[in-house]
């Protein structure tokens, strides 16, 4: 079973003007752009597997290890029960910090959830800088 979360910014709300110009263009209206001062954002989590997929779960704010564990408890575990009905499964998520935090990995171990080892994304070591 694979899962991931993503942040979506909603670009509406208090709009202001943002000016991009040179001295010569200071009064040119084409240099003005509308900008969002504080875009609203939502986090969305979902999972899928060969057995199917579950619904998306949405919340406000950012993700940290504690919140990620809540998502796993409230959404991943029930999804796993529904999709696999007691059959074994391997859980896969990426190497985001909340996923690899020690409290998260301990939580997963205590619940005997097999996690697919996932290599960290690193630049090619042979690449010259």
Q: Does 15 score more than 70 pLDDT?
A: no
Q: Is residue 83 part of a domain?
A: yes
Residues spanned by the domain of 98:
2-115
For residue 19, the domain's CATH number is 3.30.420.10
Q: Is position 106 within any domain?
A: yes
Give the model confidence (pLDDT) of 46-58 as tens digits. 999 999 998 899 9
**Is residue 61 a part of any domain in this protein?**
yes
More confident residue, 49 or 129: 49
Q: Which pair of tokens denotes residue 52?
A: 């199917």
In a domain, 122, yes or no: no
Q: Give CA–CA dist 97/28, Å, rounded.
A: 45
The 3-state DSSP class for residue 80 equals helix
Which residues touch 82 (CB under 8 Å, ≥6 apart)? 54
- The count of domains in the chain is 1
- Tell me whether residue 129 is in a domain: no
Flag whether 123 is in a domain: no
Residue 72 lies in a domain: yes
Query: What's the mean pLDDT in 12-28?
Result: 59
Over 80: is that where the pLDDT of 121 sits? no
> Is pTM, for the whole model, over 0.85?
no
């Amino acid at each position: 079973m694979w899962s991931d979360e993503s942040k979506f910014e909603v670009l509406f709300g208090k709009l202001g003007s943002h000016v991009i110009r040179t001295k010569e263009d200071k009064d040119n209206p084409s240099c003005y752009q509308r900008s969002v001062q504080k875009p609203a954002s939502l986090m969305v989590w979902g999972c899928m597997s060969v057995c199917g997929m579950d619904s998306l779960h949405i919340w406000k704010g950012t993700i940290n290890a504690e919140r990620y564990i809540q998502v796993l408890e409230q959404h991943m575990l029930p999804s796993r029960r529904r999709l696999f009905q007691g059959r074994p499964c391997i859980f896969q998520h990426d190497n985001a910090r909340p996923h690899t935090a020690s409290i998260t990995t301990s939580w997963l171990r205590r619940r005997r959830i097999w996690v697919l080892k996932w290599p960290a994304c690193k630049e090619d070591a042979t690449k010259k800088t």
